[in-house]
Amino acid sequence: MNKDLITIKDLTQREIEGLFVLTAKIKAHPSAYNCKLKGKTLGLIFQKSSNRTRVSFEVGMYQLGGYAIYLGPDDIKLGVREATKDIAQTLSRYLDGIVARTYSHQDIIDLAGNATIPIINGLSDLLHPCQAMADVFTVREKFKRLKGKKLAYIGDGNNVLNSLLYCAAKTGLSVSIATPAGYEPNSDILQEAKEMAKATGAHIELCSSKEEAVADADVLYTDVWTSMGQEAERDKRLKDFEGFQIDAALLSKAKPKALVMHCLPAHRGEEITDEVIDGPQSVVFDQAENRLHVQKAIMLELLK
């Protein structure tokens, strides 16, 4: 693997599969890994709020025998109190790795380019690779395979979808997307994913309706309509996304036992109903749990 995990685009299919195999081992036998990162320290530079990413990385590091330091929005003030490249060089002298959650994706690239230690993207405005790794691992765990399975993504073509497209395309999971006009995923990433999918047989498509996307789907996936940093657009987005909610009626149009996924946090009553997210087909908390196991595998690979 490369020094950093900034985007799943940089991982080969073999590396992704290797991480999934390691994840399954760590999940099954966590105590076998409890000294693997003894003496190592991970920094968590977060410009935005977080529950899952922060807690799963901190706990994961602890479970591997290492230590984590949380550096929140008011601590080092990335690019404000001092230049990002100075922060990257300084922290490289203290830490063994950094997870960064930023507004601008360029900040993650700048950290990685100036740090001698691994930089893990913990979410940017463009990508959320650790989420996508846990998502595809969850689909693989539930169905025992990815090829021939179809995930329907309904909602905003955002950072979560962009990374999911890379991970699905590289592992053979098909993705059908339905978004309101103007909220499609990044067009370069969609094109790249379609190219990558040629090697794995995945089918990646942008559909003209949500019904088309969910037909024969094995998984329904959604994320918030207003991501962190877009709060000023919330009223407009609520109007623009009307009709794109995953509710019981839409779920009934997928395969009978289709799984429901959401990266969380959910805005209940907006992109998903309580009935669906709390219902028997929802695997959202298994998915959230898998963040921990997948990220332990990522840390082992990058920090060992």
Contacts with ligand CP by CB under 6 A lie at 50-53, 123, 131, 263-265
Using CB atoms, what's the residue nearest to ligand NVA? 227
Q: In this complex, which beta carbon is closest to ligand NVA, that of residue 56 or of residue 171?
A: 56
Phi, psi of 22 (to 5 degrees): -65, -40
Cα(175)–Cα(153) distance, integer angstroms: 7
| Minimum CB–partner distance for residue 199 and ligand CP (Å) | 28
Window 228 to 247, contacts with ligand NVA (CB under 6 A): 228
> Is 291 one of the annotated active-site residues of the chain?
yes
> Is 156 one of the annotated active-site residues of the chain?
no
Choose the one of ligand NVA, ligand CP, none that binds residue 158, judging by a C-beta under 5 to 8 angstroms depending on kind.
ligand NVA
* Binding characters for ligand NVA, 72-91, by CB under 6 A (x = yes): --------------------
- Structure-block tokens of residue 77: 């003030």
DSSP string for residues in 175-213:
EEEE--TT-PPPHHHHHHHHHHHHHHT--EEE-SSHHHH
> Is 268 one of the annotated active-site residues of the chain?
no
- Is 69 an interacting residue with respect to ligand NVA (CB under 6 A)? no
Q: In this complex, which beta carbon is closest to ligand NVA, that of residue 107 or of residue 223?
A: 223
CB 98 within 8 A of CB 4: no
| Minimum CB–partner distance for residue 223 and ligand NVA (Å) | 5
Bond from prior residue into 265 cis (ω within 30 degrees of 0): yes
CB 297 within 8 A of CB 19: yes
Among 4, 110, 135, 223, binds ligand NVA (CB under 6 A): 223
- Structure-block tokens of residue 171: 């592992």
Window 249 to 268, contacts with ligand NVA (CB under 6 A): 263
Choose the one of ligand CP, ligand NVA, none that binds residue 51, judging by a C-beta under 5 to 8 angstroms depending on kind.
ligand CP
Q: In this complex, which beta carbon is closest to ligand CP, that of residue 154 or of residue 197?
A: 154
Choose the one of ligand CP, ligand NVA, none that binds residue 124, judging by a C-beta under 5 to 8 angstroms depending on kind.
none
Angle at 1 between CA 292 and CA 60, to 5 degrees: 15
Q: Residues with Cβ < 8 Å from 176, sequence gap 6 or more?
A: 150, 151, 152, 153, 203, 205, 207, 212, 213, 214, 217
Choose the one of ligand NVA, ligand CP, none that binds residue 223, judging by a C-beta under 5 to 8 angstroms depending on kind.
ligand NVA
Strand order in the sheet with 97-101: 67-71, 41-46, 97-101, 119-121
Among 23, 227, 273, 287, binds ligand NVA (CB under 6 A): 227
* Binding characters for ligand NVA, 137-166, by CB under 6 A (x = yes): ---------------------xxx------
CB 46 within 8 A of CB 54: yes
- Structure-block tokens of residue 108: 């993650």
Cα(162)–Cα(186) distance, integer angstroms: 7
The closest of 136, 170, 124, 108 to 23, measured between CA atoms, is 136
Q: Which residue among 54, 101, 105, 140 is the active-site one?
A: 101
> Is 131 one of the annotated active-site residues of the chain?
yes
Q: In this complex, which beta carbon is closest to ligand CP, that of residue 13 or of residue 104?
A: 104
The amino acid present at 142, given as its one-letter code, is K
**Which active-site residues does the annotation give?**
101, 128, 131, 223, 263, 291
Positions touching ligand NVA (CB under 6 A) are: 123, 158-160, 223-224, 227-228, 263
